Amino acid sequence: MKKYFAFLFTAVFFQASAAHLTLAAPEETEHGGDIIYTEPLKAVLFSHASHVQESGLSCDSCHDGIFAMEALSVQKNKDFTMASLYQGKYCGACHDGSMAFASNTQCARCHIGVKGFERSQKKGK
């Protein structure tokens, strides 16, 4: 519990200092943040931070080829399913087991579930 509070405190502190930083350096890389898909089922988290900052992908690795710039636009497509991913569409373009972990493994790495979705909504508020 103590650890948690310590973490929370540092997180808040860090965020505050980060805000100052962005004011000082507005040219820092911008990305789309967390995208949470809720169709066809709840919920899948796409983290721009982990793809752009950690994995070092550039915007044009995915935009506008695999994904449109508009967030969540692909989930309107009827074929936005795991079956399509296995055929190399959408996330499956990279998540094929060679470039990135295969899309039929580690399900709950992207699928955050209803619980994860609700947590993200609370965080947003």
Partner 1 sequence: MFKIENLKKESPGKLPILERREFLKMGFVVTGVFAGGSILSLVSNAEKVFASAGEFAEKYPYKPHYSMVIRQNLCIDCERCLGACRTTNNVPDYGYRTAILEKHAPEAIGQKTEFIPVLCMQCNDPPCVRACPTRASYKDKNNGIIRMDEKKCIGCKACMVACPYNARYFNNEKHAIDKCDFCFEARLSKGEKLTACANVCPTGARTFGDLSDPASEVYRMVHQLQKRVWVIRAEAGTKPNVFYMKS
- Single residue of 32, 35, 42, 96 touching partner 1 by CB under 8 A: 42
- Regarding 114 and contact with partner 1 (CB under 8 A), the answer is yes
122: left (phi over 0), alpha (psi -120 to 50) or beta: alpha
Q: Is 85 exposed, middle or buried (0-12, 13-18, 19+ CB in 10 A)?
A: buried
Residue with smaller CB distance to partner 1, 1 or 25? 1
Residue with smaller CB distance to partner 1, 23 or 108? 108
- Regarding 112 and contact with partner 1 (CB under 8 A), the answer is yes
Q: Which two tokens stand for residue 85?
A: 């991913």
Find the shortest distance in angstroms from Cβ 77 to partner 1.
17
